[in-house]
Amino acid sequence: MAEDLVLDTAIRDWVLIPLSVVMVLIGILRYFVSKLMRSSNQVPDPKMVKEGQVIIRARNLRAAANYIPAKSFRARRVYFSNEENGLLYVPKGQAQNAQAQMFSDPNMAMDMMKKNLSMIIPQTLTFAWVNFFFSGFVAAKIPFPLTQRFRSMLQNGIDLSTVDVSYVSSRSWYFLNLFGLRGLFSLILGEENATDDTQRMMQMSGFGFDPTKSLGAEKDSLDIFQHEWALPKFEQRAEAVLKKLVVSVPTPVAETIKTEEVKTVVEASKEEKVAATPAHEVVTEEQKQVTKEEVAEEQVQVTEEEVVTEEQKQVTEEEVAPEVVKEKQEEATKEEVAAPPAEKPAAPEAETKELAEEAVPEEAVAKDETKEPVEEKIEAEAPKEAVIDETKEEEAPKFTEEEKPAAKEE
């Protein structure tokens, strides 16, 4: 008995299209109204904001915990979940207090009321309007068949029982629009649309317990977290990456690095003391010496270094510079002693041994500063493969020092 009903075109003109248009417009209106109302009274409670930020910090720690060594992760975790003064530790008395305070706060209650009203009122109004005006006739035909059980739901105003269930009343067209336009709203309104029912439910349920329970939850999840050191082989990976870079780049880069260093030397010399500048000149001259492989320059340099050491002993203002100069002098001498630049792998090894020896008594600041000029100089002189060996060995002592205490503790 599935005869095709012929429906009046007027139904299409005056029911389907207006209803859809009205629902779209009401959705847009609701979006803008909620945006306006939200921005007017936005004075956040400082205590709430502080707790929220603490939670964010704990979450960041958990998210990035695998990139810091185990010891530092543990130190941070203790800072958060310590019994006496840990940030996340909230004694039970305070927990109840905050929750009660939040519900009795009139501002909060007003906000919640406004949010709920702005969601519910347009829907109720539209539904009442549909029921009043558009009831009692067949509005549309849904293209797929449904069972008889749906008849009461979909054919509310139609009292003929022989009509196919596919022919529905306008109430069902309203509900179909209600659910189907959610996707359209997400396209035209962007991400902030509050027209989604499920989002509204989630917002309402998560609102009441935000600061207190989530603090406890964060503390628990932080305690549970297993630390896994994600960077044990990073120096090998860095070596691989550098190798790829180096193989593709020819030696002209070395010259540009040298010229850049000369420029930086010139600029730096204006700032630093006079005693320091001979150190930089020594650096550049050492580079030239090694690349050009000339004995005469070596002799010249030896004399200059002797002069420089005498000057350095006189000046005592900068702590780092003399150490830098001394190291470079020792390295230069070792280079001269070791070999002509053909045996360049030997030179970096000698320097790294030296660095490892001198790394212990020095401070960390001096260590970093000395490593950087050494790296620059060697890049300028030697082929890049030697650079990679040297950086790997340089990073290896650093990482093994860190890994050893971590391994010992674990």
Partner 1 sequence: MASHDESSVSRKKSSDSVDEISTFNAENMQINAKIISYSRTFMSIIGGVIAGILGFTGLTGFIFYFLVMAIMSVGLAAKAGFSAHPYFDSWNQILLDGFLGGLLSFVLFWTFAYDMVHIF
Q: Which of 144, 248, 271, 342 binds partner 1 (CB under 8 A)?
A: 144
Q: Which of 34, 177, 212, 312 binds partner 1 (CB under 8 A)?
A: 177
Our separate counts of H helices and E strands in the chain read 18, 2
**Which residue lies nearer to partner 1 by CB, 111 or 402?**
402
Annotate 326-389 with DSSP letters as a single string.
Answer: HHHHHHHHHHHHH--GGGTTHHHHHHHHHHHHHHTTS-HHHHHHHHHHHHHHHHHHS-HHHHHH
CB of 39 to partner 1, least distance (A): 23
Interaction of residue 132 with partner 1, rule CB under 8 A: no
Please name the residues in contact with 402: beta carbons below 8 A apart, sequence gap of 6 or more: 69
Q: Is 332 exposed, middle or buried (0-12, 13-18, 19+ CB in 10 A)?
A: buried
Interaction of residue 158 with partner 1, rule CB under 8 A: no
Residue 195 tokens, joined: 């027209």
CB of 62 to partner 1, least distance (A): 13
CB of 164 to partner 1, least distance (A): 12
Please name the residues in contact with 186: beta carbons below 8 A apart, sequence gap of 6 or more: 193, 196
Q: Which of residues 369-398 bind partner 1 (CB under 8 A)?
A: none
Please name the helix (run of DSSP H) or strand (run of DSSP E) that holds residue 140, with its range, or none: strand 140-141
Interaction of residue 198 with partner 1, rule CB under 8 A: no
The amino acid sitting at 28 is: I
CB of 142 to partner 1, least distance (A): 5
Please name the helix (run of DSSP H) or strand (run of DSSP E) that holds residue 141, with its range, or none: strand 140-141
Residue 406 tokens, joined: 């971590």
CB of 145 to partner 1, least distance (A): 6
Terminal alpha carbon distance of the chain: 79
Q: d(Cα 123, Cα 194) in Å, to the nearest integer?
A: 13
Q: Which of 91, 179, 267, 316 binds partner 1 (CB under 8 A)?
A: 179
Q: d(Cα 27, Cα 189) in Å, to the nearest integer?
A: 10
Q: Which stretch binds partner 1 (CB under 8 A): 48-56, 185-193, 219-227, 382-390?
A: 185-193
Q: Which of 176, 189, 242, 396 binds partner 1 (CB under 8 A)?
A: 176
Interaction of residue 11 with partner 1, rule CB under 8 A: yes
Which is nearest to 222 in space by CA: 54, 98, 405, 94? 54
Q: Which stretch binds partner 1 (CB under 8 A): 123-131, 138-146, 254-262, 279-287?
A: 138-146
Q: Which of 91, 183, 250, 361 binds partner 1 (CB under 8 A)?
A: 183
Q: Which of residues 18-47 bind partner 1 (CB under 8 A)?
A: 20
Instruction: Give yes or no for a contact between 289 and 271, defined as CB atoms under 8 angstroms apart.
Output: no
Instruction: Give yes or no for a contact between 339 and 351, defined as CB atoms under 8 angstroms apart.
Output: no
Q: d(Cα 219, Cα 83) in Å, to the nearest integer?
A: 11
Interaction of residue 233 with partner 1, rule CB under 8 A: yes
**Which residue lies nearer to partner 1 by CB, 224 or 337?**
224
Q: Which of 71, 182, 243, 334 binds partner 1 (CB under 8 A)?
A: 182
CB of 150 to partner 1, least distance (A): 14
Interaction of residue 143 with partner 1, rule CB under 8 A: yes
β strands within 160-299, DSSP E: 167-168
Q: d(Cα 400, Cα 397) in Å, to the nearest integer?
A: 5
Interaction of residue 404 with partner 1, rule CB under 8 A: no
**Which residue lies nearer to partner 1 by CB, 47 or 141?**
141
CB of 404 to partner 1, least distance (A): 21
Q: Which stretch binds partner 1 (CB under 8 A): 12-20, 119-127, 147-155, 317-325?
A: 12-20
Which is nearest to 167 in space by CA: 181, 150, 183? 150
Interaction of residue 237 with partner 1, rule CB under 8 A: yes
Find the Cα–Cα–Cα–Cα dihedral 232, 234, 235, 239, rounded to 10°: 150
Q: Which of 181, 217, 262, 320 binds partner 1 (CB under 8 A)?
A: 181
Instruction: Give yes or no for a contact between 389 and 342, defined as CB atoms under 8 angstroms apart.
Output: no
Q: Which of 228, 260, 317, 363 binds partner 1 (CB under 8 A)?
A: 228
Interaction of residue 145 with partner 1, rule CB under 8 A: yes
CB of 47 to partner 1, least distance (A): 28
Q: Which of 22, 24, 33, 184 binds partner 1 (CB under 8 A)?
A: 184
Interaction of residue 309 with partner 1, rule CB under 8 A: no
Find the Cα–Cα–Cα–Cα dihedral 69, 71, 72, 76, rounded to 10°: 130
Q: Where does this chain bind partner 1 (CB under 8 A)? A: 5, 7-9, 11-12, 16, 20, 66, 140-145, 173, 176-177, 179-184, 186-187, 191, 228, 230, 233, 237
